[in-house]
Structure 1
Amino acid sequence: MTDAILTARHLTKQFTTRGDGAFIAGTSTFTAVDDVSFEVPRGRTLGIVGESGSGKSTTARIVAKLIDATSGTLEFDGVDVTQARGRALAAFRSNVQVVFQDPFSSLNPRHTVEKIITAPLDYQGISPAGGKRALVRELLERVGLNPDHAQRYPAQFSGGQAQRIGIARALAVSPKLVICDEAVSALDVSVQAKVINLLNSLQAELGLSYVFIAHDLAVVRQIADTVAVMSRGRIVEQGDRDAIFERPQHDYTKALLAAVPKIDPEWELRRARMLAEEGAGA
Structure 2
Amino acid sequence: MNETLTIPLGEQEHLKEFFKVLTDQGRGQEVIELSSLLSQLNQMEKQYTEVLNELKTVKSQLSNIQEKGIKTSAINGVLKLQEKVTKAKNQLEHIKVDISDSVKQSLSLIKQQGISALNKAVDFIGLRKTLTDMRENLNTSISQTQKQIDKINAIGSELHSLNEHTSNLGRVLTGRETKELTQRNEDKGILAVVAKQLKHSKSMLEGMVQSVTHAIKIVDRLEQAANKDKEKKPSVRAELKGNSQKEPVKKAPVTQKKQGMSL
Same fold (TM over 0.5): no
Structure with bigger gyration radius: 2
- Shorter chain as normaliser: what TM range? under 0.3
Q: Higher helix proportion, which one?
A: 2
TM-score, normalized by length of structure 2?
0.24
TM-score, normalized by length of structure 1?
0.23
Q: Higher strand proportion, which one?
A: 1
